């Protein structure tokens, strides 16, 4: 199996990107390289990394996003794998408007699964393409930042970036 791959430096940190058949299948912070490789091996088995400049057009979209075009990620094709429930959660995450947040409970209710807050949280935590699937837009029901694989500082940075460019109020 061959996966297109590259590394990109953004103001939010260095990212590793992987694509398969024209769709982004994994994205992670460069300091989490080993975890990302494990995720890919679990999904695809043994794979070969083929360096390309812009796998699935994700580099171009992420650069535009970093430059303030916060809607640039909307059209990036993703191939997430995952269970049916995880895919439903990830689709719902992509529907959260830029510059806004939601809670795990509200997301569960929007899926018609009001008691599935923990399952929503678990799916959120297994998101293979953060930022593109904006799991950073999910916060605790009390409004506090909670749970982000890239760390809460990065979560805050992404939310502030989106709010600034979407014209929404900044976090306090």
As a whole number of angstroms, the distance between CA 137 and CA 133 comes to 9
Torsion angle of the four alpha carbons 100, 63, 80, 156, in this order, in degrees rounded to the nearest 10 = -40
25 part of the active site:
no
Assigned token pair, 71: 């809607």
Q: Which of 123, 133, 135, 139 is catalytic?
A: 135
As a whole number of angstroms, the distance between CA 73 and CA 57 comes to 10
Quickly list DSSP for 46-77: S-EEEE-SSGGGHHHHHHHHHTT-TTTTTT--
| Angle (CA) 160 162 166, round 5° | 120
Distance of CA 131 to the CA centre of its chain: 3
| Cβ neighbour number for residue 169 with a 10 Å cutoff | 8
Q: Looking at the annotation, which residues are catalytic?
A: 135
């Amino acid at each position: 199996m061959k996966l297109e791959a590259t590394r990109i430096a953004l103001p939010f940190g260095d990212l590793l990107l992987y694509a398969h058949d024209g769709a982004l299948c994994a994205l992670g912070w460069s300091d989490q390289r080993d975890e990302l490789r494990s995720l890919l091996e679990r999904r695809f088995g043994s794979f070969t990394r083929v360096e390309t400049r812009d796998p699935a057009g994700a580099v171009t979209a992420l650069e535009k996003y970093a430059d303030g075009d916060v809607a640039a990620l909307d059209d990036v094709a993703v191939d997430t794998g995952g269970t049916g429930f995880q895919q439903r959660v990830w689709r719902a995450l992509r529907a959260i408007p830029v510059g806004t947040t939601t809670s795990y409970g509200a997301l569960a209710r929007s899926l018609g699964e009001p008691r599935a807050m923990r399952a929503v949280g678990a799916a959120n935590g297994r998101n293979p393409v953060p930022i593109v699937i904006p799991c950073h837009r999910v916060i605790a029901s009390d409004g506090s930042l909670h749970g982000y694989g890239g760390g809460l500082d990065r979560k805050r940075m992404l939310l502030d970036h989106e709010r600034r460019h979407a014209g929404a109020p900044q976090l306090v």
